[in-house]
C-alpha cells in the first residue's frame, strides 16, 4: 500500500498536492494500491510516482505530469 500522508494530500485536490510537493520536493511518491476513483488530478505532478494497482477509474488526469510514472506492478 502507498504512503498515507501522500494519499490524504492528493485527495485534497491539485492545490493541496502542489503545496505538499513544494514542501517535499525530494519525497518519492507512492500511491500504489490507492483508491483514486473520481479524483480530480488536473495538473498534478506525478513524475516517477508509483501508481501500480491504483484505482484511477473516472479520475481527471488532464494536464497531469505522469512522466516515468509506474502504472504496472
HEC per residue, 55-66: ECCCCECCCCEC
Q: Where is 7: in which H helix or E strand?
A: helix 4-11
The verdict on domain 1-73 having CATH code 3.40.50.300 is no
pTM for this prediction: 0.89
How far apart (Å, rounded) are the C-alpha atoms in residues 15 and 1?
24
Give me the pLDDT at residue 9, please.
93
Per-residue confidence of the chain (73 residues) as pLDDT tens digits?
799 999 999 988 888 899 999 999 999 999 999 999 999 999 999 999 999 999 999 999 999 999 999 998 7
Q: Cell match 501500480: residue?
A: 52
Written as nine digits, the cell of 30 is 507512492
The predicted pLDDT at position 73 comes to 73
Residue partners of 73: CB distance under 8 A and separation at least 6 = 52, 53
Amino acid at each position: 500500500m502507498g504512503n498515507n500522508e501522500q494519499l490524504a494530500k492528493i485527495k485534497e485536490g491539485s492545490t493541496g498536492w502542489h503545496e505538499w510537493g513544494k514542501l517535499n520536493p525530494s519525497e518519492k511518491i507512492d500511491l500504489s494500491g490507492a483508491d483514486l476513483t473520481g479524483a480530480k488530478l488536473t495538473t498534478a505532478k506525478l513524475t516517477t510516482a508509483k501508481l501500480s494497482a491504483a484505482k484511477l477509474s473516472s479520475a481527471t488526469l488532464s494536464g497531469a505530469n505522469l512522466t516515468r510514472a509506474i502504472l504496472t506492478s
